[in-house]
Every structure is written in C-alpha cells, then in structure tokens.
Structure 1
Amino acid sequence: MRADIRLSGIGDEAAPGIDRQIEAVRRLGWDSVELRSVDGVPLAELDGPAFDRVAGSIAEAGLGVSCVDSRIGNWARTIASPFTDDLDELARLADRCDHLGTRYVRIMSYPNAGLSDAGWEREVLMRIRRLTVRAEDAGLVLVHENCAGWAATDPARMLRLLEAADSPALRLLFDVGNGIAYGYEAYDHLAHIAPYVAHVHVKDGTGDTSAQFYSLPGDGDCRVADSLRLLFDQGYSGTVSIEPHINIRPHEGWSDPSGDYVDEFVAYGQRLEKLVRELGPATDSAA
C-alpha cells in the first residue's frame, strides 16, 4: 500500500451507530473515519452528551477523523436559505473539529433558487469568502465537493471559488463518482483541478441523472483507477475515502432493508485497497 495515501470511509454508509462505524474501519485496518451523521443525526446537530460519546468512542478506538461532512451549501440548502444556518453550523463544527483533531470540513456551493446567473454567482462568492475567513481563523480547511451548487459541475467555477477566497483555507474535494448523478464526466474535469484537490471520495456505478446503480470501485463507469492514477501522478498525498452508496445513502433517507452493511462496507474498502496496490508505489521524483 502507498505510504503517502491515507484510506478512510464515511462511517454512516457502514452503519448508523458510531460503534459499528468504528468497527467497519477497524476491520479494514484503517486509522480514520469520516464523519457525516450518527444515528441519523448530522454531526453538528448532536447534543453535547451525544457528541462527547462519539468523540470518546473514536479516541478509545485509536482512530482519527479524516474529514467532517457538513451541510453547508449542500443540495438541501439553496442560495435562498438563510446564510446564518451555515455560519452557525461552521461555528459548531469548528469546536467539534478541534475535539476530534481534524481540520477538513466538506462544503458545497448552493443550488440556485430563482436568482439570475450573475446574482447567483455574486451571492455564492460572497458566502464562500466569508465562510473561508472564518475557517481560516479557526484553523480549518473547507473542501468544496463537486456535487451540488454553483461550482458543482464546472472546473472553471471551482477555480473561480478558489480565486475569490484567495486562502489556503479553501480547497477542493473530488468525488470520483458524482458525475453519473449530475450529468458530467468527472474524470474529464480532474486535470483542471488536481493541484487543488485536498480530499477524495470514491464511489462508482452506472446510470444517468434519472437513475444511478452503484457498484464496487472499478466495476462501474466512473474511471476510478484512472482518476486515482492522475491524482497520484500529480503528487496527491491526502486521504482517499469511500462512500459506497450501495446499501445505504443516509443523506437520501434510503437503505436496503436487509439490514447490516458493515460487511459490504469492508468488501468495498478491500476492493479500493486492491486498486491502489495495482497502481503501484509512489514515484520517487529524485530517481
């Protein structure tokens, strides 16, 4: 396995509860979990005692947290949603990230809600600038995902976000598999943004904007191995985190009725390990 790459996984795609989320990544031998929700509750909305139990369980297991997935600017919060919701969430997560020992917070860039293209852009850039200033003050890095919002599917807009924020506290999250649901070829965008990618999600599948069918990494149409190879060749040395979407998609309120998904999550992670091994070791630039 490449020593420069850390493997992780979004825990709530293995199980709702934190104990089973921890079990899933520990069975893989990985040293971190990515947090989105616990028992169906977004991390920022957990009450104090519940969050303390989560943080304590992770620490007791000897795990780190690779990233926290916020709802800031996501598909459920349009550009017309109150900006105070995002500012408040970032403030809560800043304190929680400090306890968890992580700096990365996933965000998106606000679906439109009736604004002109120019007005949508102005409002998005204003919000992202303000969020980035607060993140930088808190020692956090916001990672914008190619999922929902103004810069979701356009690498030029992603770069415009970075230019407007002008801060190392804003970087990009590249999800290999988001293109099938949003109608674009994610791999084709990667060459434009690879130097700014600070976190990676892996999912794979087939389909289009009307229906998606998710699969083990390497079995779908999302060019997982090609994307990882391009990133590694560009010097990527961050986390690659699985988001299987096969048995459970908590943010959509959907799950397979069969129940326990830890085994499937572990199988997914093992397939990713195989792909990474096949890509070979990190290249020695001095050779």
Structure 2
Amino acid sequence: MKFAACIEWMFTEAGDDLPARIHAAHKAGVTGVEFHLWREKPIEAIARAADATGVRVRSFCVEPRRSLADPADHEQVLAAVADAIPVARQLNGAAMVLASGFTRADVPVQQQFDAVVAVLKRAAAMAQAAGTMLWLEPVYMVVGGQRMFVDTIGRGLDIVAAVDSPALRLLADVFHSAQTGEDLEQAIGERMPYIGHVQVADTDGRHEPGTGGIDWASVMRVLKAKGYQGEIGLEYFPTVGAGESLALTRRTLGLAA
C-alpha cells in the first residue's frame, strides 16, 4: 500500500508553501497528497507541483461546509460542490470530501438520514456528469452536545449504499472511527467496494500510528481481509521529522518501505 500525506500537517520542514511540501513528499517516496479547504490555496501552483513530481492530489474538502442533514442547507451544499468540480478536474481527478454536519435536535434520525441521501444523490449526479468523485467522510465531533450525524463508518456506508452512485464513496478515517468505539470489521461487513479511501492517525493526540492506543495490527488485518487495495491517507500531526515519522508509520502498519 502506498501513502497519501496530508500536506496541511506534514512535511512542514519544507516551509509553509504547499507546492514545496509536494516536492518534499515526492523526495520521501510518497505518491499522493491531500489538503483541506481549497479556496485560499494556490491551486494552480499545487497542480504544477503535482504534474512536475508525478505526485497525485488525492482529495480536498468542499467548502463552505454546510449540513447534509438539513434540507435548508441543500442548495448551498450543491453550489459548493459545483464550485469544487473545476478544482477537482484541474487537480487531475482529486476527490471532493464532504462531511455531514451535526445532528438536528428533535428531528427523527430517519428523516435526517433521508435528507443526507437525497442531497448526496443530487451531488453525486453532478460529480458523475463532470467525471469527478465525491467522498463522504464520517467525522467524530461533539459541539454543544450534538454529534456529527455521520460519525461512524457503519452509518457512512449505509448512506453511500443508499445513494448507490459510482461517483460517491466513503472516506474511512480510522481515527474518527476509533473515537466512536465501533467495531471496524462489523462496520465494513461486505461493503468494502463502497470505500474509496482510508485515512489513519492514532488516539489520543492524532499523531502517527504507533504513538497511541489503536490496535493497528487488527486494523490492517481487517483492511487486508476485506480486500482494501487503495492508498493509506496520513492525516496526522507528526511528532518527529518526516522521514522518521514515515518509517514509524510503515513499521506500525506492517508495510514494507
């Protein structure tokens, strides 16, 4: 398995310039990179750095972030996806990442689920028509007592299956999944084809695998048994230099250098 590094947080030795971090990732043997919000990023320079190095930009986040669970936000969600599609195409097919937004107090769970499915069907149709891809990311976060509506891999896969579009897949973040205490093997079941990407970070602190409490041998066993063959996204805050951090991650995940 190859790595896709979050250049928001990794290769900081190269400075604040994201294209320079892409070049640093390439020198370290990393074949993919990811970043978060796009509107304030130097997209043209990022595209040039990716083309020059052969490093693939795997994903970026759709913005502004709005609720998938609230129909009042749906037109803004779709407008944000429309704005992101040209960026995804400029970055040679980078996936566009969406989170669900928070649960809505006193609104039935099924009603919220149906709202998420409805807007993602429309968004996925837009992405498919443009030859691009959306990734739904379950995120564990609690604000004012409200959790994100999609915060587990299990619910995320339920939604992706319900949308049933080739332009929508799940971004399975092991860090967020571990926060919820879900069983990874049970959550995935036979639905690995709906997973487009896997990201890793350890608990607590969101550092390299091997610095916290997640059983990475078990995680990798599940991913391999279920047939995952994609890249591993490194969305963590390194505790050491890039080279040492990558080596620790490889050892912990049982991956050859």
TM-score, structure 1 normalization:
0.73
Within the candidate set 76, 79, 84, 1:85 is matched to 76
- Runs of 4 or more above 6 Å deviation: none
Q: Unaligned regions of 5+ residues in structure 1, if any?
A: 37-41, 207-212, 248-262, 282-287
Check if 1:30 corresponds to 2:30: yes
RMSD (CA atoms):
2.8
CA contact (8 A) 1:146 1:153 kept: yes
Q: CA deviation at 1:246?
A: 5.0
CA contact (8 A) 1:28 1:270 kept: no
Distance 1:46 1:140 in 2: 21
Partner of 2:158: 160
CA contact (8 A) 1:187 1:223 kept: no
Q: Unaligned regions of 5+ residues in structure 2, if any?
A: 141-147
**Cα deviation 1:233-266 (Å, max 9, x = unaligned):** 222111111011357xxxxxxxxxxxxxxx6344
Distance 2:33 2:47 in 1: 11
Rate the CA distance shift 1:268–1:190 in 2: closer, same or farther, 3 A.
Answer: farther
Partner of 2:235: 243
Q: Which SS does the other structure have where 1:215 is aligned?
A: coil
Q: Which SS does the other structure have where 1:140 is aligned?
A: coil
Alignment of 1:84-233 (within 5 A): 84-114=75-105, 115-147=107-139, 149-153=148-152, 155=154, 157-181=155-179, 183-185=180-182, 187-192=184-189, 193-206=191-204, 213-233=205-225
Partner of 1:59: 51
Q: Which SS does the other structure have where 1:33 is aligned?
A: strand
Q: CA deviation at 1:65?
A: 1.1
Rate the CA distance shift 1:219–1:51 in 2: closer, same or farther, 3 A.
Answer: closer
Q: CA deviation at 1:7?
A: 1.1
Distance 2:199 2:183 in 1: 12
Distance 1:280 1:265 in 2: 17
Alignment of 1:2-17 (within 5 A): 5-14=1-10, 15=12, 16-17=16-17
Distance 1:205 1:152 in 2: 16
Q: Which SS does the other structure have where 1:84 is aligned?
A: helix
Distance 1:224 1:268 in 2: 16
TM-score, structure 2 normalization:
0.81
Matched residue count: 243
Rate the CA distance shift 1:35–1:186 in 2: closer, same or farther, 3 A.
Answer: farther
Code of the residue aligned with 1:178 in structure 2: it is H
Within the candidate set 242, 248, 255, 1:271 is matched to 248
Distance 1:152 1:121 in 2: 12
Rate the CA distance shift 1:46–1:19 in 2: closer, same or farther, 3 A.
Answer: same
Distance 1:122 1:78 in 2: 10
